[in-house]
Structure 1
Amino acid sequence: MEVFDIETGETKLLKEFDRVIEAPNWSADGKFLTYNSEGRIYKFELATGAITEVPSHFVDNCNNDHVLSPDGEGLYVSHHTKEDGLSRIYKIFFDGRMPELVTPLAPSYLHGITPDGKTLAYCAERDGEYDIYTIPATGGNEIQLTTAFGLNDGPEYDCDGEYIWFNSVRTGRMQAWRMKADGSEQTQMTFDAHSNTWFPHISPDREKVVMLAYHERDVRPGEHVPNKNVEIRLMTGCDETGWSEPRTILKLFGGQGTINVNSWAPDSKRFAYVRYQNRRT
């Protein structure tokens, strides 16, 4: 697990693990990261390096789609339930309370939460199509935001809750998109000729977006697999001045699990990610 500093271009190793870990989230107070490994969620204290498991009881098969709750109580996670193995969204708590189910329908893969913590955004397969949905964080009726053919994934609110950034294959290659929180004004933001771009993560200051890119030779547009040579790209700007073309800031061995969810530090200067070691025997 590493941190990249946007201003200096330097990387910092936080810890090496002897097992697969994925998808760090950075806490709003800047003090810790959370990540998933072997179905559980863990908390990594940045000051000490101490690691503790977040108590989740029967929610023991979490994937790399999770977000921290703005109320500081815990996380919303995507957990493959025992009855059918499909992903459903739960809230788990740092204090050990029993998990709470949010999405009875499955599969549902969580990616975003509004700044007030009241609404979740997620990718879900319904009737054979993968689209973006929202739902009250306490559960209720889900609302479908996208209808474009093919995979629409990775929905993430900006810090004002005005826009949702996501990725879609609707133009034939996976690209970064953005829409209003109500699903209107769906706008393509990247136009990579030879790469498939996944998981655009907007910084807290709304002026930077990092995303994962696979070369077109390595994956089909709808795939985001592990153990590939990938790039992390940065796009900067704002609506008033426009957005830059994405530029590569990191090349690494990773892919699925490297930066699936938002991992920006509160200062918008650093983000966390996972690099894998390619060890051949």
Structure 2
Amino acid sequence: MIEPEGKGSAAQEIANTGADTAGATTGATLGMLLGGPGGAVFGAAVGPPLSHAFRKIGAEINNRYISPREDKRVASALQHAIERTGEKLEEGKEIRNDGFFDEETDSRSTADEIIEGALIAAQREHEERKIEYIGSLIANICFDESLDSSQSNALISTAERMSWRQIRILSYISRLQEFTGRNREAHTFDFVSIRGLELPPDDFLHEFSELQQMRLLMDLEAFMDFPLDPEKYVVSKFGRQLYSLMELDSV
């Protein structure tokens, strides 16, 4: 791959994409977020259906034994979900009205299941820069009627499985033309240009390959080999969906 002037290797560009993003950095804990003035503010911001679901699941998690660090992670994800929900409502978007928030005979809705799954993912997430994007995923699922329970759970489990570096890779490949300034349809590969480049480290290649196994990246030439040329890859439909719902354009 011909490197654009002033750019480093593809692996280095990916490593630099969003490298300083620290995710949601709130000082809120879950109990503080749900109770007192803060709880009243977010209830008014997101409306009854979402407010009820956020409060219900947040309270359930708050009543379990979780460490102080986990408490902050869950609060951070929930706060970001609340903020994004409020912003989307201000933009004129409408929350789902397809039974997503309707409680069944066990007093549990699909929204309860999805929000709980995402917040538990945030609770267990040691790469805390991901938490903001988990919050975005929660918010966007609550507005998208095309996503049923199975699809939503698949998105959450995939988001949980991805590492922070894999999120950056997905964001980079999704915006490749923005970073390289070249039209992908006019791509040509110049082997002369890669002479002297170092092989990407094995851990990087492993994570890149895992994105293919998760069906987030598709290899246009059906092989994975050095030299790593991102322009040979496209983001799958599922990958584009995850990119959009997690709002990875901000990575």
TM-score range, shorter chain: under 0.3
Higher RCO (CA-CA < 8 Å; seq separation 6+)? 2
TM-score by length of 1: 0.24
Structure with greater Cα Rg: 2
